[in-house]
A and B are shown apart, each in its own frame.
Chain A
Amino acid sequence: MTTTTAPLDVAALRADFPILARTIRDGRRLVYLDSGATSQRPRQVLDAERAFLETANAAVHRGAHQLAEEATDAYEGARATIAAFVGADPGELVFTKNATEGVNLVAYALGNSATSSLPGAARFRLGPGDEIVTTEMEHHANLVPWQELCERTGATLRWFGVTDDGRLDLSTLDSLVNERTKVVAFSHQSNVVGTVNPVEPIVARAREVGALTVLDACQSVPHRAVDFRSLGVDFAVFSGHKMLGPTGIGVLYGRRELLEAMPPFLTGGSMIELVTMEKTTFAPPPQRFEAGTPMTSQAVALAAAVDYLTAVGMDRIAAHEHELTEAALRGLGEIPGVRIVGPTEAVDRGGAVSFVIEGIHPHDAGQVLDSVGVEVRVGHHCAWPLHRRLGVPASVRASFYLYNDLDEVAALLDGVREAQRFFGVTGAA
């Protein structure tokens, strides 16, 4: 039996991921450092999706035939597996198209509460004088829906600032989150600078003033053990494709009593209780929030991804990524002309490392890295305000996952030096 602290056998893990065996541009080894954007999928996940489609595919929650029963069991079984993984009850988990849709679901449900006749919807209503608080660090997915909700309701958007080293500035917590605050939306871990935000004080303050909390957990759930109930957040979102699962599926977590009182976002089939030509009553959650035919094989595959991650062990994955992050921060810090954007120490920090190279635009740096097989993200990574705040128009981001190793960190560092050589920028030793 392995202990939870045993280091990962990365070579063995890599054998599970067929794509990692391919080569890039003139036969270079693929060094995939873009898991923050989307992760690769192991054979076990691909097989689970195929097996479902080959043996049990049918529309769920309708039809009385055997296939429909088996498909429904697989779908609801997947929900239970994923719920247990994040410390939730199955009824508290809603499947969405992606995490972005999850945030929009909450934002639109709050907006819809203005005209909803559901008992209890009143607590979600927003209007002029109310405030929504977010942060300057957010992915656009946890910013734009709130801007739009403010537009529709007359509420005011406010936000936490970010310090020069890429941490949330919580010095204004007590004034920013006040009796006017209805929603506090923030990320668990920055997709750009890797900062892990302290959930506890924000949730505690939000509770004091009766505000709802919405956690963007897209960059935390795939990388370490996360328990929504013990974090105490009201809502949280994450996406399947960033955690070895498929695209086309995301998850919204909502505390049961909130989902029960909340009006729907999308309406139509599957989410109803009773329909007449005049009026419709809605199903209880989670079905109330899953209008239309859901993503069935994707849910099954996401549960297989959860099983895979659980078998490896989230604590071991977190420890492994910590080691890679430390090596990257140290190595990049030693290259003259490279500036790390965000925390330079691997403390309260996950495995997304963004940087700029003096004299080389991130696009050009990414092109050189690609030419040696190192696949990174370049641009503003859907967090334009954060880049503006940190004084860079764009950055290069390397992000790590369980299948990366120290050789790949070394390849990244070599690629950066190669970019400096190619563009004749001083700094390369």
Chain B
Amino acid sequence: MQLQQMYQEIILDHYKNPHGRGLRDEYDAESFQVNPTCGDEVTLRVRLEGSGEAATVAEVSYDGQGCSISQASTSVLTDLVTGHTVAEAFGTMDAFVELMQSRGQLEPDEDVLEDAIAFAGVAKYPARVKCALLGWMAFKDAVARVADDTAPASSNGEHSNGVTTR
């Protein structure tokens, strides 16, 4: 019973048929995130059009290895942010983070979170919240790196604090 609550059909669909998977060559910034407790990892790239909070998320692509929750959540992410402004995307992200940290006490807003409401059941399992947020942390970091990189980016990938950029 509880298992079905966590592994909603939407999650399993995204896991088996992920959206946005496979790194694109054209991008502005990349972030590499790992979950140190399990070794799951995601590399995520973003391409923006325009600048600042008004910039539009033109494309998100990713690759990685991980559980169904982390992979499905990243797949849903690409649907939710692509074509939206950075400000809108971050608003969605905040709503998702709030949902995930609610221990299952929050009723998600489907208008904002769309497919991501399926993760409400995951929020009841504290050990899996990190899985659901892995891709989102990569997205947040990559966008921040685009902003930072109005200054020239280093060309060959720097590793620091478990994060890669280029």
Interface residues of A (CB under 8 A from B): 25-26, 361-364, 367-368, 371, 378-380, 384, 387, 393-394, 422-423
Q: Contact at B67–A393, with CB atoms within 8 Å?
A: no
Q: Contact at B67–A371, with CB atoms within 8 Å?
A: no
Q: Of A25, A368, A371, A393, which contacts B39 at CB under 8 A?
A: A393
Is the contact region of chain B dominated by helix, strand, or loop, or is it mixed?
mixed
Task: Tell me how many residues of B have a C-beta within 8 Å of chain A.
Answer: 19
- In the bound complex, residues from chain A placing their C-beta under 8 Å from that of B156 are none
CA distance A362 to B66 in the complex (A): 9
Q: Contact at B125–A394, with CB atoms within 8 Å?
A: no
Closest 9 CB pairs of A and B: A363-B67, A379-B38, A361-B67, A371-B3, A380-B39, A393-B39, A364-B68, A364-B67, A394-B39
B98-126 near A? 1/0 per residue, CB < 8 Å: 00000000000000000000000000010
Q: Contact at B65–A363, with CB atoms within 8 Å?
A: no
CB distance from A123 to the nearest CB of B (A): 37
Q: Contact at B2–A378, with CB atoms within 8 Å?
A: no
Most A CB atoms within 10 A — which of B6, B12, B40, B125? B40
- In the bound complex, residues from chain A placing their C-beta under 8 Å from that of B2 are 25-26, 371
A selection of 29 A-B contacts at a CB cut-off of 8 Å is A25-B2, A26-B1, A26-B2, A361-B67, A362-B38, A363-B38, A363-B40, A363-B66, A363-B68, A363-B69, A363-B128, A363-B131, A364-B7, A364-B68, A367-B3, A367-B128, A368-B3, A371-B2, A378-B38, A379-B38, A379-B39, A380-B38, A380-B39, A384-B39, A393-B39, A393-B40, A393-B65, A422-B3, A422-B7
Q: Contact at A379–B3, with CB atoms within 8 Å?
A: no
CB distance from A130 to the nearest CB of B (A): 28
Q: Contact at A367–B38, with CB atoms within 8 Å?
A: no
Compute the total of residue contacts between A and B using a CB distance below 8 Å: 47
Chain A CB within 8 A of B37 CB: yes
- In the bound complex, residues from chain A placing their C-beta under 8 Å from that of B39 are 379-380, 384, 387, 393-394
CB distance from A390 to the nearest CB of B (A): 13
CB distance from A141 to the nearest CB of B (A): 15
**CB-contacts of B21-45 with A (<8 A):** 37-41
- In the bound complex, residues from chain B placing their C-beta under 8 Å from that of A362 are 38, 67
Most B CB atoms within 10 A — which of A26, A363, A387, A394? A363
CA distance A155 to B65 in the complex (A): 35
Q: Contact at B38–A394, with CB atoms within 8 Å?
A: yes
